């Protein structure tokens, strides 16, 4: 897939999935714009010195001002990929309003605001938007014990389908992936007795995102693609 000289925003690009995706994108020739929450996150990102990577420290992406600064001046923007988000588990009876709002902000609001900025930046040129939902966003009963997270990710899935219809005639194809638990160091630490062979690898999930964001994707829109591996 040819991304030569194409500008791509990747929120959450410094995380495990993000690093795998940015590595694939730069290999394909993309110029990757990666916002980081803080300087510490930027320093941890192993591709920060790559000549095709543009790092910025934006703070929270649930606020309009940092998003405006992130997208301003990226021209032409080809793709915007929204990996940034957060997770919270626990029964609903113990879930505070603060946790609910945090999940909505981290997962839905950040995604929605980035989608809005990307649509404006792509005006007249077309492009690709890829969001990240979750398995629980498609299989709601699997979200028992993490209802706030499930609801926020289900909203991302609905946003994806609605926006895809809204901007299709502008040449902007909007899709999402819905991962199950991915094989990352953090997830292995949290679940030391799990069978890691069943989990999708971050490189495998990144490959699906790469296609959806690519010029080779000419017709797929409004999809929320399950990326479950063997789990």
Strands (E), 99-181: 127-132, 172-179
Q: What is the pLDDT of residue 73?
A: 82
pLDDT at residue 60 is higher than 90: yes
Edge-to-edge strand order for the sheet containing 127-132? 53-57, 31-36, 7-11, 77-82, 127-132, 172-179, 224-227
- Give the total number of structural domains in the chain: 1
**Per-residue DSSP letter, 44:** H
pLDDT band at 75 (very low <50, low <70, confident <90, very high): confident
Half-sphere CA count of 39, side-chain side, radius 13 A: 0
Host domain of residue 45? 7-227
1 in a domain, yes or no? no
Catalytic site residues? Answer: 149
pLDDT tens profile 95-148: 999 999 999 999 999 999 999 999 999 988 999 999 999 999 999 999 999 999
3-state secondary structure labels for all residues of 175-218:
EEEEECCCECHHHHHHCCCCCHHHCCEHHHHHHHHHHHCCCCCC
Half-sphere CA count of 201, side-chain side, radius 13 A: 5
CA proximity to 156, closest of 173, 132, 174:
132
pLDDT at residue 220 is higher than 90: yes
24 in a domain, yes or no? yes
Distance separating alpha carbons of residues 186 and 208, to the nearest angstrom: 22
209 in a domain, yes or no? yes
Helical pair 16-27 and 202-212, crossing angle rounded to 10 deg: 50
The answer to whether the beta carbons of residues 34 and 65 sit under 8 Å apart is no
CATH number at residue 19: 3.40.50.720
What pTM, to 2 d.p., does this model score?
A: 0.96
pLDDT band at 93 (very low <50, low <70, confident <90, very high): very high
Q: Is 1 exposed, middle or buried (0-12, 13-18, 19+ CB in 10 A)?
A: middle
The pLDDT > 90 percentage for the chain reads: 97
């Amino acid at each position: 897939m040819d991304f030569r000289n194409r500008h791509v925003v990747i929120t959450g690009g410094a995380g495990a999935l993000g690093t795998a995706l940015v590595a694939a994108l730069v290999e394909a020739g993309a110029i990757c714009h990666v916002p980081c929450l803080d300087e510490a996150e930027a320093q941890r990102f192993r591709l920060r010195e790559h000549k095709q990577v543009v790092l910025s420290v934006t703070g929270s992406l649930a606020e309009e001002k940092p998003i405006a600064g992130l997208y301003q001046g990226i021209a032409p923007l080809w793709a915007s990929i929204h990996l940034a988000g957060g997770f919270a588990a626990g029964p609903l009876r113990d879930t505070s309003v603060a946790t609910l709002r945090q999940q909505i902000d981290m997962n839905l609001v950040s995604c929605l605001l980035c989608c809005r900025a990307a649509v404006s930046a792509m005006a007249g040129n077309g492009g690709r938007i890829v969001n990240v939902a979750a398995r629980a966003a498609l299989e709601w009963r699997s979200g028992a014990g993490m209802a706030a997270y499930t609801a926020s990710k289900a909203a991302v899935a609905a946003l994806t389908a609605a926006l895809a219809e809204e901007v299709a005639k502008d040449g902007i194809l909007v899709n999402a992936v819905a991962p199950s638990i991915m094989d990352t160091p953090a997830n292995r630490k949290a679940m030391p007795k799990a069978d890691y062979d069943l989990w999708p690898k971050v490189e495998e999930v990144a490959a699906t995102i790469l296609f959806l964001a690519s010029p080779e994707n000419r017709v797929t829109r409004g999809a929320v693609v399950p990326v479950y591996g063997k789990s």
